[in-house]
Structure 1
Amino acid sequence: MKKDIGLGILRIGSAALMLTHGVPKLSKLLSGDFEFGDPIGIGVPASLFLAVVSEFVCPLFVLVGYKTRLAAIPTIITMLVAIFFVHLSDPFGVQEKAIVYLLLFTVIMIMGAGKYSIDRK
């Protein structure tokens, strides 16, 4: 039971915090403002779309505990891109946020949603 409560807190807290990064990107996408980085060379609209999926859509799934392990993967990939492509030459203090999110979503992917989730229903 304690493990499930802990997983719930980790899952809900991490996803809610990630949404604070995803909501502004979703707003950009919906408004047609495609000013965004293209760190892996797939084009700006595609990069923005993938960022919205991994920082808004997938965290919503993680938040409610639906397909949690699968939903964590795009966010993990995005954090790896942020660390190794976007912020590689930045100081550790700038990289740190992406590293923390990478660790949080990796634990969520490994451990799953826990008892208090849609996945367990």
Structure 2
Amino acid sequence: MVLNERYNYKLSYSTRNSLIMIDTILKNAGKLLVRLSAGAMMLTHGIPKISRLFGEGPVRFHDPFGLGPEISLALAIIAEVICTALIMVGFKTRLATIPLILTMLTAAFYAHADDPFGTKEKPLLFIVVFIAIAIMGPGKYSVDGLKKKKRSLF
């Protein structure tokens, strides 16, 4: 394998395999970093909503689907807390991104429909990150990755 035509470096089989292994480790570490950091940031939005649902007084929350503010808030909590936790540990990751993407679409284009772009920017960034996670998958350092590894052993 020629690394650089100008210098005509040839890599040995073991060197090439080592580079491939390092590349794989870094890609999986990057997937873990994205899952954990996006998840931690999303939890800061989801966890406070729990006290809004179970707090005193009437629930005030956007109701984009006509289900009532309590159910809409509960759905947002499920997406922002439970689905986020699933993504962070890497369990059913691709499936768990769907409610989060839908919740962030609702936040950007319904709850903040009349707001300036700067207000919509955060949910839009979350949409991009969760779409990327859905495309990339959870990686090796995840519950799904461990399950996949166990299947390949037998």
Bin for the TM-score computed over the shorter chain: over 0.9
Query: Shift in Å at residue 12 of structure 1?
Result: 0.6
Q: Of the candidates 10, 14, 17, which is equivalent to residue 41 of structure 2?
A: 17
Whether 1:47 and 2:78 are equivalent positions in the alignment is no
Listed as ranges, the gaps of 5+ residues in structure 1 are none
For residues 66 and 119 of structure 2, what CA distance do their matches in structure 1 show? Answer: 22
Q: Secondary structure at the match of 1:3?
A: helix
For residues 32 and 112 of structure 1, what CA distance do their matches in structure 2 show? Answer: 40
Alignment match, 1:107? 132
Given that 1:69 and 1:112 are in contact with CA atoms closer than 8 Å, whether structure 2 keeps it comes out as: yes
* Aligned amino acid, residue 19 of structure 1: L
TM-score for both structures, normalised by structure 2: 0.75
Q: Of the candidates 96, 99, 106, which is equivalent to residue 121 of structure 2?
A: 96
* Aligned amino acid, residue 60 of structure 1: A
Whether 1:117 and 2:142 are equivalent positions in the alignment is yes
Given that 1:58 and 1:71 are in contact with CA atoms closer than 8 Å, whether structure 2 keeps it comes out as: yes
Aligned residues between the structures: 121
**For residues 54-111 of structure 1, what are the alpha-carbon distances to aligned partners after superposition, in whole Å with 9 as ceiling and x for unaligned?**
1111000001111111011100000111111111221110000000000011111111
Please identify the structure whose Cα radius of gyration is greater.
2
* Aligned amino acid, residue 37 of structure 1: H
* Aligned amino acid, residue 91 of structure 2: Y
Query: Shift in Å at residue 120 of structure 1?
Result: 0.8
For residues 16 and 103 of structure 1, what CA distance do their matches in structure 2 show? Answer: 16
Whether 1:3 and 2:27 are equivalent positions in the alignment is yes
TM-score for both structures, normalised by structure 1: 0.94
RMSD across aligned C-alpha pairs, in angstroms?
1.2
> How high is the sequence identity, in percent, across the aligned residues?
46
For residues 52 and 26 of structure 2, what CA distance do their matches in structure 1 show? Answer: 40
